[in-house]
Structure 1
Amino acid sequence: MNSAVKLYLARLNSSALDEADEQRSNEIIGYATNLEPIGDIVDRNLRDLVDKKIRNQLSFSAEGAAEIEELYRVTLENLRLAQSILVTGDLQLARQLVESKVEIRNLEERSAANHMARLRDGMIDSLQTCSLHLDILRDLKRINAHIAAIAYPILKRQGALRESRVMTGRQIAAIST
Structure 2
Amino acid sequence: MKHLQLFLAFFRVGILGYGGGPSSIPLVHKEVVDKYKWMSDDEFADVLALGNTLPGPIATKMAGYIGYRVAGIVGLINATLATIVPTIILMIFLLTTISSVKDYPWVQGMTAAVVPVVGVMLATLTWDFFKKSQKSLGWLKSSILIIFSFFLMEIFGLHPAILIGGLLLAAIIKKDKDPKKERKIERGNAS
Considering the TM-score relative to the shorter chain, is it more than 0.5?
no
Q: From the two aligned structures, give the one with the greater helix fraction.
A: 2
